[in-house]
Amino acid sequence: MASQVASVFAGIAQAPEDPILGVTVAFNKDPSPVKVNLGVGAYRTEEGKPLVLNVVRCAEQMLINDPSRYKEYLPITGLAEFNKLSAKLIFGADSPAIQENRVVTVQCLSGTGSLRVGGEFLAKHYHEHTIYIPTPTWGNHPKIFTLAGLTARTYRYYDPWEKIRQLMRSKSLLPFFDSAYQGFASGSLDKDAQPVRMFVADGGELLMAQSYAKNMGLYGERVGALSIVCGSADVAVRVESQLKLVIRPMYSSPPLHGPSVVATILRDSEMFNEWTVELKAMADRIISMRQQLFDALKSRGTPGDWSHIIKQIGMFTFTGLNSEQVAFMRQEYHIYMTSDGRISMAGLNMKNLPHLADAIHAAVTKLK
C-alpha cells in the first residue's frame, strides 16, 4: 500500500456548496418519500419527469441521418446559421439593427457563458466598470460579472419598461439583457422579446445574452448566444474581432451538436411552429401551477398577500419567505428551495402542490 504523500493543496479549505445546486445535493441525501425539490430551474412534467421536446428529438434524428455531417471544430464565434437565427428570434425578423448589419452575435456556452463573455468584453473595452443588476436576481449574476472584472451593484426594479428605457437612454447607460426564458414566460416568443425590441428600436446600443436551456429543454447541451447591437456596421466588425480575443483563451470554440439542433428547428417553418406549440404547453402548465398555488394558500387562509405568485412570470417565483421559514419547511416538510425563498414552479404538480401549500401555511403561521 502506497504511503500517504503530503499534498501541496493540503491548506485548501472546503468550499461551500453552490446556493442553488447545493439544494439538489441536500435533496438527494434526504430519504423522505414526500420530499420536494424546488431549487433547480429545469422543467418537469405533471408526473415530475424531465422532458425532451418532440421537435428536439425529430431534429436530432435528422442530424443523425445526415451522412454529410462532421465533427470538426466550429469557428471561434460558433455556428454561423445558429447565430443569425438567434438574433432574428430575439430582435425580430424585421429588426433595423439586423438589416443595417449592426448586430454581432457569437455562440456561447448557454446563458452563463454568454454573460461571462459579455462581462469580460465590457471589462476590457467599456469605460464604465460598474454593472448594476436587479435585486432580487439570479444568484450567479454577481459572481459572473465580478470574476469578469466588473464591480456589481444592485438596483430595485419595477414593471413599466418604457420608463426604464427613457431613463437609461437619458443617462447614456448601456443595457445588458439576460434572456433565459423567451417564450417560456408568457407562452409567446414575441411578447417576451418586447422589452429588448423597444431598446433596439430607439437606435441605441445594448448587449443581449440568450439561452436555449429552458425554452428548448437543451439544458445539458449548453446552447446560448451573446449579441451586441452596435451604433454602426463598421463598429460591429471591430467588436466581433475583440469578442474572438475574449473567447479564444476561454474555451477556444463552442460545441456543435446543440446549436445544430436549434438551427434545424428555427430554419424550418413547420418545426418552428411545432416548437411554439410545445413551448406554450410548458408555459401554460407553469401559469396553471401559479394559479393553483395561489388558490391553495387563499383557501387555507394563509396570512399575507400572495398575489405576487400569479403576477410573476417564468419558471421561478420569489415567495417572500425568509431563510428561517425556508429552513423550517426543509426540516419539517422536506421541501427544498434556496434560502431566499425562490421556488421553481416547474417542480410543482397536482400531487405535491397541496404539501407545499401546507408547508408555507405552517411556516408563515408559526414563524412570523
Active-site residue list: 138, 178, 214
- Give me the residue label for grid cell 443581449: 208
Q: Identify any residues that bridge with 36 across adjacent strands, giving them in sequence order.
A: 335
Burial class of residue 215 (count of CB atoms within 10 Å of its CB; 0-12, 13-18, 19+): buried
> Are residues 137 and 157 in contact, defined by beta-carbon separation less than 8 angstroms?
no
Return the H-helix or E-strand segment holding 103.
strand 103-109
C-alpha 347/C-alpha 316 separation (Å) is: 10
User: How many other C-beta atoms can be found within 10 angstroms of the C-beta atom of residue 32?
Assistant: 10
Nearest to 353 by CA among 306, 288, 284: 288
- Reading the block at residue 180, the C-alpha cell is 433565459
SS3 33: coil
> Are residues 189 and 65 in contact, defined by beta-carbon separation less than 8 angstroms?
no
C-alpha 288/C-alpha 306 separation (Å) is: 15
> Are residues 209 and 195 in contact, defined by beta-carbon separation less than 8 angstroms?
no
